[in-house]
Structure 1
Amino acid sequence: MAVVLAISTSRIDRWAVGLSGLCLVHCLGTAILFALVATTGGLLGKPVIHEVGLAFAMLLGTIALGRGIVEHGYSMPSMVGAFGLGVMAGALSLPEGGMEPVYTVLGVSILALGHRLNHLAAE
């Protein structure tokens, strides 16, 4: 825990935005790969990847956005980020294919916005 406290909130937010970008690339890439190569897309589209990704996003979001409230006193970035995480979690309950990728990308984008707002508030 001491290592986490030694890392600035701004740096964690940058990591979280980067993770959001990787998630976005993964979601879009998976959709493209599903269209191009069914076997490769099937590997990347496994539910465990989404579940682990969401767990990691929740961990980083809790640390960075929670610490942001303590450091700069604004809760709005955390509320935006929490809403994005909620949309992402809700997307896991949808059937694969269909609207699931749309809601995942929407949730990731909202979460990234929360981290960006947190980063701006810390400046």
Structure 2
Amino acid sequence: MPSNSLDATLDASAIGLSGLCLVHCLLLPVAAALLPALAFVGEAEWLHLAFVAVALPLAGLALVRAHRRRPLPPALFGLAAAGLSGLGAGALGWPTHALETPLTVGGSLALASAHLWNWRRRPHARCAG
């Protein structure tokens, strides 16, 4: 797989993971209220930690590879760091359990935005025609 293709795959995977995280945070509690059998998945703390455990290395690899190719603006790194911090704080229930969902949703959106920004910075083939 060519390097540029791998970079695009990493960013796309990270954006997809952020989307899954949003679905988990926003839709699963509603589904669990309607179907109590899903409640155990909606409140599974291990799942929150698993999202962060996958997001950290995936985001780090994608952004470090992109930075080596073409230096990233500090604001992009800051947006990614804020996103990862929000995800981590939400997964750990810090500073309070009541802030878990807002921190996780905000972190997920910030991280997805950073990956989208990173993806848009890459040169893309233009359509001929």
8 Å Cα contact 1:12/1:60 also seen in 2: yes
Task: State yes or no: 1:68 paired with 2:69.
Answer: no
TM-score using structure 2 length: 0.81
Which of structures 1 and 2 has the bigger CA Rg? 2
The gaps in structure 1 that reach 5 residues or longer are none
Q: 1:10 to 1:78 in 2, by over 3 A?
A: farther
The Cα shift of 1:6 comes to 8.1
Say what the alpha-carbon RMSD is for the aligned residues: 2.2
Match of residue 93 from structure 1:
92
> Aligned residues, how many?
120
Whole-angstrom distance in 2 between the partners of 1:50 and 1:9? 25
2:35 corresponding residue in structure 1: 37
Task: Measure how far apart 1:111 and its partner are.
Answer: 0.3
Amino acid at match of 2:10: I
Runs of 4+ in 1 over 6 A off after TM superposition: none
Q: Which residue of 1 aligns with 2:127?
A: none
Give the TM-score taking structure 1 as reference length: 0.84
In structure 1, the residue matched to 2:81 is: 82
3-state SS of paired residue (1:10): helix
